[in-house]
Amino acid sequence: MAVVPQEKEARLGSWAVQHPSGRLQIGACWGKSGFQNEWIMKQPSRSNSAKKLKREFGPQTQAIHAGEPNRHGVGVGVGPSISRTSTFTFSSTEEMKRWAEGKSSAYIYTRYGNPTLSIAEGKIAALEGAEAAVVTASGMAAISSALLGALKQGDEVISTAQTYGGTYRLMRDEFPDWGIVVRRAETSLEGIESLVTGKTKVLYVETPTNPTLRLVDLNKAIAFAKKHKLVSIIDSTFATPVLQRPIDLGFDMVVHSATKYLSGHSDVIAGAAAGSKKWMDRVRHMIIDLGGSMDPEAAFLLIRGIKTLGLRVWRQCENAQAVAEFLAKHPKVAKVHYPGLKSHPDHALAKRQMKGFGSMLAFDLKGGLPAARKFCDRVQLFLLAASLGGVESLVVLPIYSSHYNMSAEELAKVNVTPGTVRVSVGLEDAEDLIADLKLALG
């Protein structure tokens, strides 16, 4: 579902949501007339003689206003409503018949779509510069639906070896049973041409990677995908659309664990995919059939989080840089994985293709697992918890969380050691975070 600018449909306010069919949505129904929420349209409108604001809005403005219904008038709520319903009414059996024939895009059942979900989808599409977006029950629902929407039995996918552990296990443990072959590429993409066969259909990359923050050259990746006519999918969770927009470079689909930065408050499980109308129709089809639909209340929390995304991301980037520089000088730290440091192998690439270095980092302790466990058990401001991207700073051992149930060989290939600590830097004062790290490291 795409964002419609004010100049294209002035009566809908600054933004409206457009269904892939081309119809426009206000409230709980699609179409140009017969709105269930028609009272919204009858609110006093602003003077038609007033000049219309016509410009390309910035990301923080989009985060706040994109996807929203008309909010000008008397008695219109500023905050989004939660459409807490499983099903929606029809005005007649004729209207229901039109829906069944594919001639109506009215809401029918929340697994298929919901007004609150549509607002979140409009915001994500706008932030990514995509035609449409789909929100899902979790990040893995978005990832699996995007992949399964583009693959079938007998197909092959080339994936970078360094991915989120859940994605890695999906490809390692489930895809073989479904007849899908996975071939692993280095983040440098070196030797990737040798992995292509006549059955290759998808290129899947994650950048920056979890947990060691390696980067994939997006221009090289998309050139490779276009050369071999592959569907290109990228997990951009760590970067967020604030720091990189892969759709602008030609990627077909972007996926997010919206639990992380998009929501940003560690209080909701959510996922999202963005891309062309064609591919988002396919992802939505997978969500409907496999049941990975988002709950309306989760969508409300996601919308709330998105509105402060830009503010949070930039503050977290500043904090992460300060934390990384402190850790890089500490005598008990063997290595810091953060692209904002000149010592990081992808520092120059990060400067070219990202607007900032992000707020995720990892570091390896010289004392290995015993030292890493001791450190994690001693932190006070940092919380020992999985996940990332929230306002609170977190630490976790990847071998006990994102990369559990992986062999020593598999861990070595992604540069994860028993002494690796992953850090999600939050919004606390940097000086306080550094003081906590200093005490925990001893």
Report d(CA 25, CA 104) in Å as an integer: 12
114-130 burial, b at 16+ Cβ within 10 Å, e below that, comes to bbbbbbbbbbbbbbbbb
For residue 62, the surrounding DSSP H or E stretch is helix 59-65
Beta pairing, strands 360-365 & 333-337 = antiparallel
102 in helix, strand or coil?
coil
Residues 237, 243, 247, 251: is their CA dihedral positive or negative?
negative
273 in helix, strand or coil?
strand
**Nearest partner of 76 among 48, 50, 44, 30, judged by Cα:** 44
Report d(CA 66, CA 278) in Å as an integer: 21
**CB within 8 Å of 386: residues ≥ 6 apart:** 394, 396, 401, 402
Describe the strand order of the beta sheet including 156-160 as a list of residue ranges.
132-136, 271-275, 253-256, 231-235, 200-206, 156-160, 181-185
Q: What amino acid positions are annotated as catalytic residues? A: 111, 164, 235, 260
Instruction: Yes or no: say if 20 and 30 are a contact pair by the CB < 8 Å rule.
Output: no
Number of Cβ within 10 Å of residue 414's Cβ equals 22
Residues 80, 241, 145, 5: is their CA dihedral positive or negative?
positive
Cα–Cα distances in Å, from 390 out to 157, 159, 296, 379?
32, 27, 21, 17
**Nearest partner of 250 among 265, 229, 264, 267, judged by Cα:** 229
**CB within 8 Å of 214: residues ≥ 6 apart:** 162, 187, 207, 208, 337, 345, 346, 415
Instruction: Yes or no: say if 398 and 363 are a contact pair by the CB < 8 Å rule.
Output: no
Give residue 62's identity as a one-letter amino acid code. Q
Task: Compute and round to an integer the Cα radius of gyration of the chain.
Answer: 23
